Chains A and B, each alone.
Chain A
Amino acid sequence: MSSSVEAITVLSSDGDEFKITVSAAKLSKPLNWMLEDVCFSDDCDEVPTIEVNSKTLVKVIEYCEKHAPRANSGASDSDAEELKKWDIEFMKMDVKDILFHILMAANYLHMEGLYDLACQTAADLMKGMTVSQIRKIFHIKNDFSSEEQEQLRRQHPGCSFD
């Protein structure tokens, strides 16, 4: 890879082009391997596709660009603290409606930090949800028969199927 290249262009699954700096792309193992294997120079017109939709990819790249300086050089405790606060805000924003897409993307791109953050955010949100809300977001059908529900209610008084 040419050392003069500082940013690469990638395509989302929707076909939109995005720029990502090389140091940010290194946060993802598959992207890092790609950087090592493929020639990225100004005269190279190969544009790799990342199987993540545009809306999600914008957020993933935003996360990578924010975390890249610390990941590549190490940082002080105060930076780590600041980054933690930034993560919380990042997950509070309009991420909520694409949280599951972020989870899939972080898993697919092998980004441990973002994956853990998204899993924890999902778990925290689930704590306040009812059983039927949980079924809806995970596309799960209630497959307990009425007898089985009755039996569980006897074993665990107060348990709710709604």
Chain B
Amino acid sequence: MERINGAAPYLPEEIIINILKRLPVKSLIRFRCVCKHWENLFKNPFFIAAHLCQSNQNPSFIFSHDYLLNTLPLRLLDCEMQLRDVQKARPFDSFASRSCFNIVGSSNGLLCFVIRLCPRFPFSLLIWNPVTGDGREVPVSRIVDMDKDHYVLGFGFSPLDNDYKIVSIYGKNRSVVSGVDLYSLSRDSWKEIEVRNLGNLSLVNGLL
């Protein structure tokens, strides 16, 4: 490639995208400084979907071996069976270092955490991209009385509207559901959903 010089042909956009979607995220992060068009392209949902589709051929696994936020004991097992520590990034700085976390779910490389100072404390939610380091703290949908209320959280991607969602189910006890709230990442807001007969629910692949 060093020998590709001024004589290299101008490639059509279609071919350039086909090359770029094969690059690891690390390279994409570096190459967003190439030009404004590339910087915007890497944020484009269609490009992200194409890149994801390509990289899904080489899946990675993430797991935690502790629950304390200050150490963020997360490790990534990549497709070449290499184990790497995941670096904690800025989005976590706003939480007290003694907080505990649980992974609510993961979808397309995004992770959703529930973070709280102790089990009886109100919780915060964080959606985080461990590769780019970008994250967003999600406000909780309602004040929960930790002594009386039960809640279940789920995180997933909805291909129908190309959006990431958090579902939060509240109940007075394990069998009576008192409300269901749905958070949309693209709208950055919660809305309450009408649910009549909610039988036994379970999360599969982050989806209800």
Contact = CB atoms under 8 A, between A and B. Distances in A.
Contacts of B30: 131, 159-160
A158 B16 CA distance: 25
B33 A100 contact: no
A99 B11 CA distance: 11
A48 to B, nearest CB: 22
A40 B153 CA distance: 67
B29 A119 contact: no
A104 B3 contact: no
A119 B22 contact: yes
A161 to B, nearest CB: 5
A133 to B, nearest CB: 8
Nearest to B26: A127
B143 interface: no
A147 to B, nearest CB: 13
Contacts of A141: 35
Given A96-B1, A119-B15, A135 B9 contact: no
A100 B9 contact: yes
B107 interface: no
Contacts of A137: 1, 4, 8
A140 B1 contact: no
Interface string A85-100: 0000000000011011
B128 to A, nearest CB: 16
Contacts of B2: 96
A111 to B, nearest CB: 13
Interface string A125-156: 11101010011111111111000110010001
B34 A131 contact: yes
Given A141-B35, A144-B35, A99 B27 contact: no
B3 A96 contact: yes
A100 B22 contact: no
A101 interface: yes
B9 A144 contact: no
B3 A97 contact: yes
Interface string B1-29: 11111001111101110111011100101
B148 interface: no
B34 A135 contact: yes
Interface in B155-186: none
23 contacts: A96-B2, A96-B4, A97-B4, A99-B1, A100-B8, A101-B9, A103-B11, A104-B15, A122-B1, A123-B19, A126-B1, A126-B23, A136-B5, A138-B11, A139-B8, A139-B10, A140-B34, A140-B37, A143-B35, A143-B36, A159-B30, A159-B32, A160-B33
Given A120-B22, A123-B20, A127-B27, 12 more contacts: A99-B4, A100-B9, A103-B11, A107-B15, A119-B19, A125-B1, A127-B23, A135-B35, A136-B5, A138-B34, A156-B29, A159-B33
